[in-house]
Amino acid sequence: MRKFNIEHDFEIKNIYEYYAKWIREGKLKVNSDWNKDLKIKFTVQDPCQIVRKSFGDPIAEDLRFIVKSVVGEENFIDMTPNRSNNFCCGGGGGFLQSGFKDERLAYGKTKDDQIQATKADYCIAACHNCHAQIHELSEHYGGGYGVVHLWTLICLSLGILGPNEREYLRDDLKELNVFHPETGF
């Protein structure tokens, strides 16, 4: 809207802004206590459309604030480069569904190398296309790292992640803080 000078009377926001705001205000009571002893290491993918092409480094900072609040600052390893300069995973812009799997995986090798260089146990992907692509990259190139959605970790830290919402968690987190909706525990 701003780019093409189209008048509008609404503001475009991203859910990361709200998560960060709610955590800061104490409305979203996440914590990283679950990871104090486990010391599972996480890195985060900066989604191209959200960070580089739309909201820039301020949203990348909100994303890091959320991640550190959920996994512990000491358990976060940033990729290099990062934020607006992070490498594309190769799954966005329709490439994930394009049918050019070999080309997509070859393009994604740079992202896989970048993630593996962090030696993180998991890559957090807050974008669905990034999640699918990076998950496939880990399997294809044998990276051995897990790929997890941001909301999965938020729910895990809140103790409300149900047993049927753990498909992408590895054995180290599969049974942690399991919430059973039928019993409320």
Give the pair of three-digit tokens for residue 19: 């998560």
| pLDDT reported for residue 12 | 84
Instruction: Supply angle C-alpha 119, 32, 135, rounded to 5.
Output: 40
Query: What are the Cα distances from residue 128, in Å, to 93, 105, 150?
Result: 12, 17, 10
| pLDDT reported for residue 182 | 74
Residues 46-64 have pLDDT tens digits of: 998 888 888 889 999 999 9
Residues 69-97 have pLDDT tens digits of: 999 999 999 999 999 999 999 988 777 78
36 closest CA partner among 78, 70, 79, 77: 70
Complete domains list, the chain, with CATH: 15-174 (3.40.50)
Q: How far apart are CA 171 and CA 8, in angstroms?
A: 48
The predicted model gives 93-120 an average pLDDT of 92
| pLDDT reported for residue 58 | 93
Band of residue 107 on the pLDDT scale cut at 50, 70, 90: very high
Band of residue 164 on the pLDDT scale cut at 50, 70, 90: confident
Q: What is the pTM of this model?
A: 0.90
Q: Report how far apart the first and last C-alpha atoms of the chain are (Å, whole number).
A: 46
| pLDDT reported for residue 185 | 61
| pLDDT reported for residue 50 | 86
